[in-house]
């Protein structure tokens, strides 16, 4: 693919498929002049799509006077369209940090976005000799839905998945237009538009059960969906407050006091913020007798229900 990009950048008029297969490294070694090259042609079609997905502006040019003649189509990458703007320059430290950002994902989690960024970065021909940081962080994901949802967003596809809401015993199937994935409060969320109703929804990835299935092309929904989703989650966090009595010197007192936005409203009483009541109830139930929920009553009931279930399960 790298050789293909170089060849298409270097030839202003472009190359036909036959010229590419017979001369570009990676194809030429297996090209049979006058023979059956069907497998090689299929590989070129896949490579062409992959190159475009990486953000490379690959153009197709029809021969003059021969509209619809696919045999003589020419392919090229306009050099001016792929050059870095003349007024943009990166220092070695900036290049190193951009490389670090692209490599931080341990898995293929942000593969599409990070791969595009790294390819464009390396195309500049700049390399940093000294690393800016002495170590590279590695981020992992435990949400199996992340990768298929990322691909569906990149490819603008509808998705279907089963979603289990707190308090429900059975998951419900949702079909949505996926718009963006955002991390908030240490958890991944999908912002989407429900296909049946057209309503905007936010789904917590940890509650997606089973397989995410991508389907038909999704209608385009322009806008900064990530910024909107983060703003909505922040507004939920601002509104969601609970008052909790904590045992002095306990693990609960230390941990809850260091949550973002926590404040002591009276001796031994903390006000904490939350986005998801069920997740906070799980956390508070884990502290056992070190905490007592004062408000809101629905949070108190949720914690009590978890403790009672624990007693029923274990005696």
Q: Residues 90-137: pLDDT tens digits?
A: 787 787 777 777 666 655 545 555 666 666 666 655 554 444 444 455
Q: How far apart are CA 231 and CA 300, in angstroms?
A: 27
Among the listed residues 139, 87, 161, 147, the one whose alpha carbon sits nearest the alpha carbon of residue 112:
147
Domain limits of the chain?
A: 2-82, 87-140, 146-224, 240-314
DSSP assigned state of 109 = T
Q: How far apart are CA 237 and CA 261, in angstroms?
A: 10
Provide the Cα torsion 110, 115, 118, 123; round to 10°: -160
The dihedral region occupied by 138, where left means phi > 0, alpha psi between -120 and 50, and beta the remainder, is beta
Q: Mean pLDDT throughout 56-70?
A: 75
Answer whether 2-82 and 146-224 agree in fold: no
Other beta carbons less than 10 A from residue 280's beta carbon: 21
The CATH number that domain 146-224 falls under is 2.30.30.520
The dihedral region occupied by 112, where left means phi > 0, alpha psi between -120 and 50, and beta the remainder, is alpha
* pTM score of the predicted model: 0.60
Task: Calculate the alpha carbon distances from 196 to 173, 177, 200, 205 in Å.
Answer: 12, 10, 11, 20
The number of angstroms, rounded, from the C-alpha of 84 to the middle of its chain's C-alpha atoms is 25
Other beta carbons less than 10 A from residue 15's beta carbon: 20
Report the pLDDT value the prediction gives residue 70, as an integer from 0 to 100.
Answer: 65
Work out the pLDDT band at 296, boundaries 50, 70, 90: very high
Q: How far apart are CA 39 and CA 51, in angstroms?
A: 18
The CATH number that domain 2-82 falls under is 1.10.10
Report the pLDDT value the prediction gives residue 86, as an integer from 0 to 100.
Answer: 76
**54 close to 121: Cβ distance less than 8 angstroms:** no
**SS3 state at 2:** helix
Consecutive H or E run containing 244: strand 241-246
Residue 242 sits at φ, ψ, to 5 deg, of -135, 145
Q: How far apart are CA 85 and CA 99, in angstroms?
A: 19
**SS3 state at 167:** coil
Q: Which of 48-62, 80-94, 124-138, 141-155 has the lowest mean pLDDT?
A: 124-138
**SS3 state at 81:** helix
Residue 221 pLDDT > 60: yes
């Amino acid at each position: 693919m790298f050789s293909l990009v170089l060849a298409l950048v270097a030839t202003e008029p472009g190359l036909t498929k036959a010229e590419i297969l017979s001369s570009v490294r990676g194809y030429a070694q297996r090209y049979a002049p006058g023979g059956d090259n069907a497998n090689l042609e299929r590989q070129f079609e896949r490579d062409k799509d992959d190159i475009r997905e990486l953000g490379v502006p690959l153009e197709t040019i029809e021969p003059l006077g021969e509209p619809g003649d696919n045999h003589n189509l020419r392919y090229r990458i306009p050099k001016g369209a792929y050059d870095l703007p003349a007024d943009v320059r990166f220092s070695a430290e900036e290049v190193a940090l951009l490389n670090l950002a692209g490599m931080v994902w341990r898995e293929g989690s942000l593969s599409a976005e990070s791969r595009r960024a790294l390819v464009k970065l390396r195309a500049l021909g700049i390399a940093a000799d000294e690393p800016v940081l002495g170590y590279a962080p590695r981020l992992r994901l435990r949400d199996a839905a992340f990768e298929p949802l990322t691909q569906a967003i990149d490819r603008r596809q509808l998705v279907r998945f089963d979603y289990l809401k707190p308090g429900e015993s059975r998951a419900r199937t949702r079909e949505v237009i996926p718009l963006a994935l955002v991390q908030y409060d240490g958890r991944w969320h999908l912002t989407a538009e429900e296909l049946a109703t057209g309503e905007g929804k936010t789904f917590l990835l940890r509650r997606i059960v089973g397989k995410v299935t991508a389907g038909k092309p999704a209608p385009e929904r322009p806008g900064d969906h990530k910024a909107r989703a983060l703003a909505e989650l922040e507004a939920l966090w601002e509104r969601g407050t609970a008052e909790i009595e904590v045992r002095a010197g306990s693990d609960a007192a230390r941990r809850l006091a260091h949550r973002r936005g926590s404040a002591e409203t009276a001796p031994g009483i903390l006000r904490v913020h939350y986005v998801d009541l069920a997740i906070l109830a799980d956390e508070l139930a884990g502290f056992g007798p070190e905490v007592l929920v004062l408000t809101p009553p629905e949070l108190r009931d949720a914690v009590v229900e978890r403790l009672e279930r624990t007693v029923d399960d274990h005696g």
